């Protein structure tokens, strides 16, 4: 592992909380993700299933966690199945986890090889009334047309044990994961700290005629040097009009003198993520119009962050954020106040310049699991990311911080990342 060892007490506690919400006499089975292949003998790399990681801390492919809290034999109440190393694997890929290492990482006492999973489960299955199985239930899931290890486990279980009851792991984890523990916050803060360093390097690299991907390279260097696993998502380095495309990430444009760069990026450290956005001038000096737009967006961020507090419903929050931005658009001369009063509420005029939401859960997933019908609670971590995009002027501005909600107000985890105009200009002047 690149990252510092996580205390297994985190995973022990997570399993305890998960088990407390399971139905009586049921077995939960969580599987790892697949290794995705590219072309020929190449692979895209491995990203662990986050529910499995949340409950075990195991960051290795071909892993299965079985939880059966009501098992008659105590040894069957928690079992971790991992891939067994052989001589061929050692030669080509290096060592895999030993049983002892997997037990130390997870806090699970009983660890078996994955080839023994089917027979081991059969010894317990007919004692149980049902199963909890995992699936990607994210609103924007991208696995809907691709068979995953989870899909195969569901299919196998239902064929082998057709008369058992079935329930969803995600129903429990989406309830537990939004509330972050101190250990999780610490890991997210490490991801943020690496992001801060990366932003400073990006500021130093920015100058007229630099390619966007040259600035992206500074982010890659920083996260790699600091032991992060990967980008939290493909970073957006969008200069000039490119910043008006919300998910632009080809990053192959030339940063021109007089343009502004929108940098939306995140770091994945120990599977926990940051998600931050900053804007800065290519030549180190904001134009007057860029300052006006930037100041409006920053005002919305500061005021919007105050609205992120326990008890607030996401839809109510987003409505208030839209009103903040609408007011700023009028100040900027982009909307007419009289026309706004007469607008069709179903087709608000602000959507020409602001067309996305501003707060999402963040944690093991960048867009972390959690129901937005659930009021915000202390312990949740959320982003705030207002933006204004003016196609006709080639200006796109979005600013984003990560916040921890507490009963006494929220904490800006990204406080150390420069955001004030004078601070950014001063840092760029230093070079």
Per residue in 30-77, pLDDT (tens digit) is: 999 988 878 767 777 789 999 999 999 999 999 999 999 999 999 999
Q: What whole-number distance in Å separates Cα of residue 400 and Cα of residue 5?
A: 29
Residue 25: HSE in the Cβ half-sphere, 13 Å Cα cutoff: 8
- Residue 226 has a pLDDT of 97
- Residue 309 has a pLDDT of 95
- Residue 190 has a pLDDT of 98
Q: Are 232 and 244 in contact (CB under 8 A)?
A: no
**Ranges of the chain with pLDDT below 70:** 40, 139-145
Q: What whole-number distance in Å separates Cα of residue 353 and Cα of residue 325?
A: 9
- Residue 144 has a pLDDT of 60
Q: What whole-number distance in Å separates Cα of residue 320 and Cα of residue 324?
A: 6
Closest CA to 321 of 339, 311, 307, 337: 307
pTM of the model: 0.95
The two counts, helices (H) then strands (E), for the chain are 13, 19
37: β partners: 43
- Residue 36 has a pLDDT of 80
In the chain, the domains with their CATH numbers are 9-176 (3.40.350.10), 182-430 (3.90.230.10)
- Residue 250 has a pLDDT of 97
């Amino acid at each position: 592992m690149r990252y510092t060892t996580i205390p297994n007490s985190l995973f022990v506690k997570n399993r305890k909380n998960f088990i407390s919400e399971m139905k009586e006499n049921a077995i939960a089975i969580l599987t790892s993700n697949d290794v995705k292949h590219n072309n020929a003998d190449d692979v895209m790399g491995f990203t662990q299933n986050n529910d499995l990681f949340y409950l075990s801390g195991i960051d290795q492919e071909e892993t299965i966690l079985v939880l059966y809290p009501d098992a008659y034999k105590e040894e069957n109440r928690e079992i971790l199945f991992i891939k067994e190393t052989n001589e061929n694997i050692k030669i080509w890929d290096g060592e895999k986890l030993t049983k002892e290492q997997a037990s130390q990482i997870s806090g699970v006492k009983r660890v078996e090889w994955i080839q023994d999973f089917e027979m081991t489960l059969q010894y317990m299955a007919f004692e149980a009334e049902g199963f909890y199985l995992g699936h990607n239930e994210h609103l924007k899931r991208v696995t809907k047309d691709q068979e995953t290890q989870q899909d195969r486990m569901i299919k196998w279980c239902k064929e082998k044990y057709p008369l058992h009851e079935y329930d969803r792991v995600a129903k429990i984890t989406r309830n537990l994961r939004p509330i972050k523990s101190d250990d999780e916050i610490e890991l997210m803060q490490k991801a943020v700290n690496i992001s801060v360093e990366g932003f400073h390097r990006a500021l130093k690299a920015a100058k007229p005629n630099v390619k966007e991907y040259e600035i992206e390279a500074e982010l890659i260097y920083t996260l790699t040097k600091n032991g992060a696993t990967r980008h939290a998502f493909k970073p957006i380095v969008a200069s000039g009009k490119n910043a008006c495309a919300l998910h632009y990430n080809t990053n192959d444009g030339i940063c021109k003198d007089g343009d502004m760069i929108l940098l939306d990026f995140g770091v994945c450290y120990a599977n926990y993520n940051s998600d931050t956005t900053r804007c800065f001038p290519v030549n180190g000096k904001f134009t007057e119009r860029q300052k006006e737009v930037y100041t409006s967006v920053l005002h919305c961020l500061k005021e919007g962050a105050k609205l992120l507090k326990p008890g607030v419903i996401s839809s109510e929050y987003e409505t208030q954020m839209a009103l903040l931005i609408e007011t700023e658009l009028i100040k900027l001369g982009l909307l007419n106040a009289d026309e706004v009063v007469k607008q069709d509420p179903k087709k608000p005029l602000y959507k020409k310049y602001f067309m996305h939401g501003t707060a999402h859960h963040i944690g093991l997933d960048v867009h972390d699991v959690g129901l937005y019908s659930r009021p915000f609670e202390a312990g949740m971590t959320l982003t705030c990311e207002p933006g204004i995009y003016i196609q006709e002027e080639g200006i796109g501005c979005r600013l984003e911080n990560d916040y921890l909600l507490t009963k006494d107000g929220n904490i800006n985890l990204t406080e150390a990342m420069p955001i004030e105009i004078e601070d950014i200009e001063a840092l760029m002047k230093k070079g």
